């Protein structure tokens, strides 16, 4: 059975998905990362996806399904979907093609979301991610692993982040009404620290959500 993890930009969704995958043996399916790998490989999918990602828009569904078919075939290991679904057709697609145990939503205020995301940096050489608030490199602006220059991804700049937040807010309501009565949905407050949020996610996944 698979889990869908949703969360506004900056809610720590990717980090939490990685930790959960490791702790409970899931495969972490990060759609944004799959697209970035395709872009790095300069594949046909990657070239198409880049047009939309660089504008802060969602990649068209047919391109997104191609990436999933390739990297997350149904019936393989149990998976955590991180960044999918983000549209009503995608919700229908995942419900039809994958068994979903639960949906976990990480909630965060918009101001905090902006503060956290605009602090993100990536190595221009190896792609390793940092955050100047939470996960600083040893030397400012320099990758710990390869010494590459740290940069801000175009879609992590304030204007693009606001667009992505607006897209997220608009879609999540539709997704929730689609999944209502089909799949259990759990909301978790993501404003706490990484460990606290993770403890609550584990409780939820293990069937022991905390009251409130």
Q: Which residues are near ligand AMP by CB under 6 A? A: 31-32, 35, 52-53, 56-59, 64, 83-84, 86, 90, 155, 164
Residue nearest to ligand AMP as judged by C-beta position: 32
In whole angstroms, how close is the CB of 117 to ligand AMP at the nearest point? 9
Contact (Cβ atoms closer than 8 angstroms) between residue 3 and residue 207: no
**What are the CB-based long-range contacts (under 8 Å, 24+) for 63-72?**
64/31, 64/90, 65/93, 67/31, 67/34, 67/35, 67/38, 68/29, 68/31, 71/29, 71/34, 72/27, 72/29
In whole angstroms, how close is the CB of 44 to ligand AMP at the nearest point? 16
In whole angstroms, how close is the CB of 67 to ligand AMP at the nearest point? 9
Active-site annotation holder among 36, 116, 120, 121:
120
Active-site annotation holder among 13, 36, 116, 121:
13
Active-site annotation holder among 36, 116, 121, 164:
164
The verdict on whether 55 is a catalytic residue reads no
Active-site annotation holder among 24, 128, 135, 153:
153
The verdict on whether 115 is a catalytic residue reads no
The verdict on whether 116 is a catalytic residue reads no
Measure the CA dihedral 129/133/135/138, to 10°. Answer: 100
Which is nearer to ligand AMP, 147 or 170 (by Cβ)? 170
In whole angstroms, how close is the CB of 96 to ligand AMP at the nearest point? 15
The verdict on whether 120 is a catalytic residue reads yes
DSSP string, 126-195: T--EEETTTB--SSTTB-TTT-PBEE--GGGSHHHHHHHHHHHHHHHHHHHHHHTTTS-EEEEETTS-HH
The verdict on whether 13 is a catalytic residue reads yes
- Catalytic (active-site) positions: 13, 86, 120, 153, 164
């Amino acid at each position: 059975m698979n889990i869908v993890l949703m969360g506004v930009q900056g809610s720590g969704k990717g980090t939490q998905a990685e930790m959960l995958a490791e702790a409970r043996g899931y495969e972490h399916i990060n759609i944004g990362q799959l697209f970035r790998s395709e872009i790095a490989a300069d594949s046909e999918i990657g070239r198409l996806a880049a047009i939309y990602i660089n504008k802060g828009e969602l990649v068209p569904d047919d391109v997104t399904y191609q990436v999933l078919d390739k990297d997350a075939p149904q019936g393989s290991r149990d998976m955590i979907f991180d960044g999918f679904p983000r549209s009503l057709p995608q919700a229908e697609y995942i419900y039809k093609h994958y068994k979903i145990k639960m949906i976990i939503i990480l909630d965060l205020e918009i101001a905090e979301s902006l503060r956290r995301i605009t602090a993100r940096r990536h190595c221009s050489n190896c792609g390793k991610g940092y955050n100047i608030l939470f996960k600083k490199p040893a030397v400012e602006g320099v990758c710990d692993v390869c010494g590459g220059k740290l940069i801000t991804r175009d879609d992590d700049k304030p204007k693009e982040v606001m667009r992505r937040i607006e897209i997220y807010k608009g879609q999540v309501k539709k997704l929730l009404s689609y999944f209502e009565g089909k799949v259990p949905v759990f909301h978790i407050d993501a404003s706490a620290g990484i460990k606290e949020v993770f403890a609550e996610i584990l409780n939820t996944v293990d069937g022991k959500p905390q009251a409130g």
